[in-house]
């Protein structure tokens, strides 16, 4: 049997399509001759450039067939040629340095950059110039004069840069965009046209990315020629999913056994590294990227190293001397923890929600895991189940999924919970039934587990040419088929097996076999289709990878600069040809020749935060041909955290679809948290149900955080008559006086023996709000997200005066409440938790309701917990007007995941006089009255005597 002729397209246009009158290159090492098999032989021109390269240009649209042959084999391939509807595309370029063209679209966070934006021909794949050519300048100016303006839209609402200003220069022929990125990462965006045309041509929507890196490392290329090589090695790509700019590529064949190449700017620049500190007879066998500054390296001599800043090698002596390790594992995709979103977005500050690392020996009965980057180890045995083949870490479920070969020499799936140290069985390939023929599988050749980049519970298991899909982390599996172009040729390939499976965040799947055949599809259909333009059969130095837009690339290593070569596979053309071929089959085959889905939309956001007692909702709709679709599919990770309800309805045909065979289905989803005190993270992916490979429809995804929302807080409700007060229009002293006997040193448990002063910061507490001494004070609070009001705080909270004042008491006694046991008090909590900051000693984590248990207690004790329901309040003590600084803390653990605090200041006025002042006033008044009586007496006496003398 003759082998098929291997070939691929050497150059592709920006949109991964071939258009009329566009030249594309066709490459094959096996090929001798190529000719067009169309009826109109003049529709396509074929020019041979060299022994392995041909240039093809077709003038007519449609599927064009070409005959290729060598001395032994004749074969054919098809190319879909489309009419270009968009003649142009956008070119966006920002340079770190005008003199370094290789570092374009690469910037640093926190620094303003200038980007240039202009229009280029859609037929040109790469633009090297940093200013428009004369042609590009004329087209851009012409479109601008016709009203063209760019519209930049970010793919992820959390990954963006600030657009400070956009201006156009007619003399330069481009827009200038002043931009500022706040954090490192990979920003993906698209630039759209505002429906402006020029000579019946418009501009296609252009997908672009901008790499934001914390620092630019100087050229660190090292001579790899001194390292020894291994001829039969493959190319491996390593990446930490939280650092999308950072890659390491390892090829023992092209780079050496102690060497690798890496990029910290998403392949824009490639650097080489030869680690001479590793012994000459040692080999790197596995790599884990901890972050952009540190990596873990495992060698064949069973040594684990930490490599710092690509310069310092540190040996980690953590494994037992007699324990050999062959594999290191880390989490499969990135879900940043809440602190990353709330506090910082710097690339070197990202912590994954799941920070587990796993180490194991292939076919051993134990594995090690760590949460502190191998500073300590935990050991788990699986002797009862068999030996370990592979392990993956699910980032959200906090679980390890193990592929095992059991004691009966069959594969099974185990799911391990490291927090509870419990193992449960998943699918058993010894006893499981095949969906195809109903027979038992008894499979023992599975080798690898892969978690989908979608972020749900999707899991792929493969070995030899068997491929299985699990929607629930291995609890149940479904068979997936690899559809060959030529079954007879495929059967002639000896010992072929799957050697690589990759997924994208858009739901795509690609498989690479040991014969370098490539298959493509998605998890929503059970078949993957062979891609005609694959990899050369004997090319061991190539692998496959999806980029940030879901485009499939072949990456090939090279001994010399540029060290890595990327080539995009024309998936769109492959699908177009498949539709064409299917449409020519008989109707009885019931094969769809076009995508049955006309429109899919969802208003789901990229992320949500659900606090206790809250819910979210979103709508999704799909317009389809009747009979091909039942609805919309939703997949979740960590579904145990969520309560999910939904309603479906079929909407009447909208005006733009007139056919009665088309319907629109709508689903409204409501999600709440299932538990009041259990938090976590779950991903949800929304996609049309029964989606087909012909449908290039990306799913919608969202990360749901059951945690404290980043900007959630409470505010003190200022009385209406004082709402206008602020720090600028209010008079207050710079420090507050605390009178002796009315303040307490809580740490020493001593009453203040003399007056003291405490500094007051109005920016923290706000202006002091006046309250009358003789009136009971009941503070109230409101819940906010940023500046958005959510609701009134209607649950339990506590108050403490920050500087130790005890010049107040509570109006309620325990006898006035529903308490059945002794209630917590500040004195008790401060004694139990002697923290320097007394506002932190009483929290939702240690709060215990007095209504929970039953015990003896003094009913006349103060009740120091306040809520709107119990009407507890503050009464003032002492005989002075005073300024006070308070902190309120919500202590109900079922009110919010947040620790909710609010600080406020009060001015208490109208205090009664001190006792000695009252006595002085009384006695002074008495004395004054007595004096007045004496004076009155003498005045009267004198007047009476004078009157008597006159009478005499």
Q: Is 762 exposed, middle or buried (0-12, 13-18, 19+ CB in 10 A)?
A: middle
Residues 421, 439 within the same domain: no
**Residue 952: per-residue pLDDT:** 55
How many beta carbons lie within 10 A of that of residue 880, not counting itself?
16
- Supply the DSSP symbol for 341: H
Residue 322 forms part of a structural domain: no
pLDDT (tens digit, 9 = 90+) per residue, 186-196?
899 999 887 77
Band the pLDDT of 68: cuts 50, 70, 90: confident
User: Whose CA is closest to 83, among 129, 29, 22, 38?
Assistant: 22
Q: Please, are residues 87 and 104 in contact by the beta-carbon 8 Å criterion?
A: no
Encode pLDDT of 708-723 as tens digits: 998 899 999 999 999 9
At 104 the pLDDT is 73
Single out the residue in 657, 683, 706 at which a domain terminates: 706
Element (H or E) spanning 771, and its range? strand 769-772
**H-helix segments, 673-788:** 762-765
Give residue 346's pLDDT band: very low, low, confident or very high (50, 70, 90): very low
Cα R_g (the chain), whole angstroms = 37
d(CA 317, CA 304): 7
* CB atoms closer than 10 angstroms to residue 645: 11
Is residue 589 over pLDDT 60? Answer: no
pLDDT given for residue 592 in this prediction: 43
| Residue carrying the six token digits 């024309």 | 570
| Band of pLDDT at residue 488, cut at 50, 70 and 90 | confident
pLDDT of residue 341: 37
163 and 304, same domain (yes or no): no
Neighbours of 413 (CB within 10 A): 26
Separation CA 566–CA 557 (nearest Å)? 9
Q: What local confidence, expressed as pLDDT, does residue 336 receive?
A: 53
Q: What is the mean pLDDT of residues 879-897?
A: 93
* pLDDT at position 631: 74
Q: What is the mean pLDDT of residues 200-217?
A: 80
Nearest one of 31, 28, 35, 29 to 56, comparing CA atoms: 35
Q: What is the pLDDT of residue 555?
A: 92
Q: Which residue has the higher pLDDT, 112 or 690?
A: 112
Say what the pLDDT of residue 192 is: 87
Report yes or no on whether pTM surpasses 0.85: no
Residue 400: predicted pLDDT? 93
Task: Compute the distance between CA of residue 884 and CA of residue 290 in angstroms, rounded to an integer.
Answer: 48
Same-domain check for residues 419 and 439 = no
Higher pLDDT, 219 or 815: 815
If pLDDT is split at 50, 70 and 90, which confidence band does 612 have? very high
Same domain, 421 and 474: no
**Residue 471 is assigned to a structural domain of this protein:** yes
**Residue 614: how many CB atoms within 10 A of its CB?**
17
In a domain, 589, yes or no: no
pLDDT given at position 343: 35
Which whole number is the average pLDDT over 318-336?
Answer: 84
Do 251 and 308 have their domain in common?
yes
- Say yes or no: 263 and 399 in one domain: no
If asked whether residues 717 and 858 sit together in one domain, one would say yes
- What's the pLDDT tens digit per position in 139-173? 899 889 988 889 999 987 778 899 999 999 999 99
Q: Last residue of a domain, which of 317, 338, 364?
A: 317
**525: pLDDT confidence band, cut at 50, 70 and 90?**
confident
Average pLDDT score over residue span 50-77 = 86
Q: In the predicted model, is pLDDT for residue 686 greater than 50?
A: yes
CATH code of the domain containing 45: 2.60.40
pLDDT-derived band at 99, boundaries 50, 70, 90: very low
What pLDDT, on a 0 to 100 scale, did the predictor assign at position 915? 58
**pLDDT, position 506:** 84
Over 90: is that where the pLDDT of 876 sits?
yes
Ranges 114-118, 419-423, 876-880: which has the least confidence: 876-880
Q: Kindly tell me if the per-residue pLDDT of 1 is higher than 50.
A: no
* Range of 67-81, 110-124, 783-797 with top mean pLDDT: 783-797
Same domain? 925 vs 881: no
Q: Report the phi/psi class of residue 552: left, alpha or beta, with left for phi > 0 and alpha for psi in -120 to 50.
A: beta
- The answer on pLDDT for 909 being more than 90 is yes
- pLDDT of res. 768: 95
pLDDT band at 348 (very low <50, low <70, confident <90, very high): very low
* Cα–Cα distance measured from residue 890 to residue 385, given in angstroms and rounded to the nearest whole number: 48
Q: Which residue has the higher pLDDT, 579 or 483?
A: 483
- Asked whether residue 2 is domain-assigned, the answer is no
Q: Which domain holds residue 796?
A: 712-909
If one counts every other C-beta atom within 10 angstroms of the C-beta of residue 183, the result is: 19
Q: Is residue 660's pLDDT more than 80?
A: no
Last residue in a domain, options 706, 727, 758: 706
Q: Is 592 a domain residue?
A: no
Which alpha helices (DSSP H) does 379-529 contain, by range? 487-491
Confidence of residue 604 (pLDDT cuts 50, 70, 90): very high
Quick one: pLDDT band at residue 347, thresholds 50, 70, 90?
Answer: very low
The stretch 582-608 carries a mean pLDDT of 69
Q: What is the mean pLDDT of residues 18-24?
A: 84
- The Cα 194–Cα 716 span in angstroms is 47
Least confident of 4-8, 539-543, 656-660: 656-660
DSSP string, 26-57: EE-SS-SEEEE-SSSGGGEEEEEEETTEEEEE
Name the token pair of 293: 């500054």
Residue 100, pLDDT score = 47
Give the model confidence (pLDDT) of 817-842 as tens digits.
Answer: 999 999 999 999 999 988 888 999 99
The reply to whether 120 and 269 lie within a common domain is no
| pLDDT, greater one: 647 or 653 | 647
Q: What is the CATH number of the domain that holds 684?
A: 2.60.40.2020
> Within this chain, do residues 168 and 310 fall inside the same structural domain, yes or no?
no
At residue 657, the pLDDT reads: 47
* Percent of the chain whose predicted confidence (pLDDT) is above 70: 89
Above 60 in pLDDT, residue 654? no
- Within a domain: residue 544? yes
- What's the pLDDT score for residue 349? 40
Q: What b/e sequence results for 429-453 when a residue is b if at least 16 CB atoms lie within 10 Å of its CB, and e otherwise? A: bbebeeeeeeeebebeebbbbbbbb
| Spatial distance between the Cα atoms of 405 and 388, rounded to a whole number of angstroms | 7
Average pLDDT of span 439-468: 89
Give the pLDDT confidence score for residue 918 in this predicted structure: 62
Res. 16: pLDDT tops 90: no
Domain count of the fold of the chain:
8
Q: Do residue 377 and residue 397 come from a single domain?
A: yes
510 is a domain residue: yes
> Band of the pLDDT at 218, cuts 50, 70, 90?
low
Q: Tokens at residue 117, please?
A: 């934006």
Q: How much is the pLDDT for 203?
A: 85
With a cut of 80, say whether residue 200 has pLDDT above it: no
Q: Are residues 195 and 225 in the same domain?
A: no
As a whole number of angstroms, the distance between CA 454 and CA 341 comes to 20
User: How many Cβ atoms from other residues are within 10 Å of residue 95's Cβ?
Assistant: 19
pLDDT for the residue numbered 602: 92
Q: Is the pLDDT of residue 216 over 80?
A: no
Question: Considering the chain, what is the average pLDDT of its residues?
Answer: 85
**DSSP states along 578-638:** HHHHHHTS-GGG---SS-SEEEEEE---SEEE--TT-EEEEEEEEEEETTS---EEEEESS
State the pLDDT at residue 715: 96
Question: What is the token pair recorded at 872?
Answer: 């507890």
Nearest CA to 453 out of 379, 507, 519 is that of 507
Q: What is the DSSP code (8-state) at residue 73?
A: -
The answer as to whether 777 is a domain residue is: yes
Residue 448: is its pLDDT beyond 50?
A: yes
Give tens-digit pLDDT for 725-770: 999 999 999 999 999 999 999 988 899 999 999 999 999 999 999 9
Predicted local confidence at residue 183, as pLDDT: 81
Residue ranges of E strands in 275-421: 284-289, 294-299, 304-308, 312-316, 327-329, 357-360, 366-370, 378-381, 386-394, 399-406, 411-417
Per-residue model confidence (pLDDT) at position 912: 67
């Amino acid at each position: 049997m003759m082998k098929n002729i291997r070939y691929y397209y050497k150059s592709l246009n920006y949109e991964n399509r071939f258009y009329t009158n566009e030249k594309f290159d066709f490459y094959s090492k096996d090929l001798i001759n190529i000719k067009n098999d169309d009826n109109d032989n003049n529709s396509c021109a074929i020019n041979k450039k060299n022994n392995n390269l041909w240039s093809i240009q077709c003038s007519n649209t449609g599927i064009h067939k070409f005959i290729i042959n060598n001395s032994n084999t004749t074969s054919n391939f098809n190319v879909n040629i489309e009419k270009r509807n968009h003649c142009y595309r956008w070119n966006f370029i920002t340079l770190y340095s005008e003199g370094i063209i290789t570092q374009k679209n690469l910037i640093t966070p926190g620094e303003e950059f200038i980007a240039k934006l202009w229009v280029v021909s859609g037929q040109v794949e790469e633009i090297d110039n940093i200013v428009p050519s004369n042609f590009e300048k004329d087209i851009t100016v012409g479109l601008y004069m016709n009203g063209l303006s760019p519209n930049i839209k970010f793919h992820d609402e959390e990954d963006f840069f600030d657009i400070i200003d956009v201006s156009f220069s007619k003399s330069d022929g481009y827009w200038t965009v002043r931009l500022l990125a706040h954090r490192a990462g990979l920003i993906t965006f698209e630039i759209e046209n505002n429906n402006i045309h020029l000579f019946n041509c418009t501009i296609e929507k252009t997908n672009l990315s901008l790499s934001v890196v914390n620092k630019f490392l100087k050229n660190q290329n090292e001579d790899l020629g001194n390292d020894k090589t291994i001829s039969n090695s493959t190319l491996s790509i390593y990446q930490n999913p939280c650092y999308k700019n950072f890659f390491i590529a390892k090829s023992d064949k092209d780079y050496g056994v102690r060497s690798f190449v890496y990029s910290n700017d998403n392949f824009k620049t490639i650097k080489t590294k030869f680690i001479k500190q590793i012994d000459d007879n040692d080999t790197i066998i596995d790599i884990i990227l901890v972050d952009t500054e540190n990596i873990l390296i495992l060698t064949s001599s069973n040594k684990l190293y930490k490599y710092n800043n690509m310069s310092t090698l540190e040996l980690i002596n953590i494994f037992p001397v007699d324990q050999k390790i062959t594999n290191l594992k880390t989490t499969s995709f990135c879900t940043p923890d809440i602190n990353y979103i709330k506090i910082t977005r710097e690339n070197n500050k990202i912590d994954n929600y799941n920070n587990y690392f796993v180490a194991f020996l292939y076919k051993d009965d134990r594995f090690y895991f760590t949460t502190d980057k191998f500073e300590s180890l935990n050991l788990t045995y699986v002797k009862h189940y068999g030996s370990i083949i592979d392990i993956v870490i699910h980032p959200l479920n906090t679980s390890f999924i193990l592929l095992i070969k059991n004691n009966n020499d069959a594969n099974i799936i185990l799911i391990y919970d490291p927090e509870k140290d419990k193992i449960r069985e998943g699918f058993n390939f010894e006893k499981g039934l095949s969906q195809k023929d109903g027979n038992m599988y008894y499979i023992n050749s599975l080798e690898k587990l892969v978690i989908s980049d979608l972020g749900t519970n999707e899991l792929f298991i493969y070995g030899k040419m068997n491929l299985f899909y699990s929607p629930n982390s291995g609890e149940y599996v479904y068979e997936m088929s690899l559809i060959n172009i030529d079954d007879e040729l495929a059967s002639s390939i000896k010992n072929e097996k799957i050697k690589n499976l990759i997924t994208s965040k858009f739901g795509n799947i690609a498989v690479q076999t040991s014969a370098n055949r490539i298959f493509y599809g998605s998890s929503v259909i059970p078949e993957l289709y062979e891609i005609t333009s694959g990899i050369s059969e004997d090319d061991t130095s190539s692998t496959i990878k999806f980029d940030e837009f879901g485009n499939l690339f072949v990456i090939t290593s090279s001994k010399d600069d540029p060290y890595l070569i990327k080539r995009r596979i024309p998936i769109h053309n492959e699908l177009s040809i498949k539709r064409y071929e299917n449409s020519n089959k008989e109707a009885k085959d019931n094969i769809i020749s076009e995508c049955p889905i006309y429109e899919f939309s969802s208003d789901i956001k990229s992320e949500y935060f659900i606090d206790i007692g809250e819910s979210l909702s979103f709508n999704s709709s799909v317009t389809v041909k009747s009979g091909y679709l039942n609805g919309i599919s939703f997949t979740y990770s960590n579904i145990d955290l969520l309560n999910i309800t939904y309603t479906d309805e079929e909407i009447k045909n909208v005006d733009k679809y007139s056919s009665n065979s088309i319907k629109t289905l709508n689903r409204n989803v409501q999600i709440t948290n299932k538990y009041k005190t259990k938090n976590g993270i779950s991903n949800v992916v929304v996609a049309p149900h029964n989606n087909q490979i012909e449908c290039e429809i990306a799913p919608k995804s969202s990360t749901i955080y059951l945690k404290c929302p980043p900007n959630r807080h409470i505010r003190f409700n200022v009385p209406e008559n004082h709402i206008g007060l602020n720090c600028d229009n209010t008079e207050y002293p710079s420090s507050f006086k605390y009178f002796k006997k009315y303040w307490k040193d809580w740490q020493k448990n001593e009453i203040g023996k003399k007056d003291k002063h405490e500094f007051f910061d109005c920016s923290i507490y706000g202006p002091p709000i006046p309250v009358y001494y003789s009136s009971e004070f009941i503070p109230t609070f409101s819940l906010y997200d940023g500046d958005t009001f959510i609701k009134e705080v209607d649950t339990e909270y506590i108050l403490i005066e920050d500087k130790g004042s005890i010049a107040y008491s509570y109006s309620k006694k325990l006898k006035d409440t529903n308490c059945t046991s002794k209630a917590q008090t500040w004195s008790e909590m401060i004694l139990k938790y002697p923290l320097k900051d007394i506002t932190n000693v009483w929290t939702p984590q240690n709060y215990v309701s007095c209504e929970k248990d039953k015990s003896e207690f003094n009913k006349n004790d103060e009740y120091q917990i306040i809520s709107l329901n119990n009407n507890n309040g503050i009464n003032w003590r002492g005989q002075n007007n005073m300024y006070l600084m308070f902190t309120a803390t919500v202590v109900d653990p079922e009110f919010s995941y947040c620790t909710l605090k609010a600080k406020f200041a009060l001015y208490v006025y109208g205090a009664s006089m001190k006792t000695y002042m009252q006595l002085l006033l009384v006695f002074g008044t008495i004395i004054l009255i007595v004096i007045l009586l004496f004076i009155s007496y003498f005045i009267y006496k004198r007047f009476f005597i004078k009157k008597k003398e006159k009478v005499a």
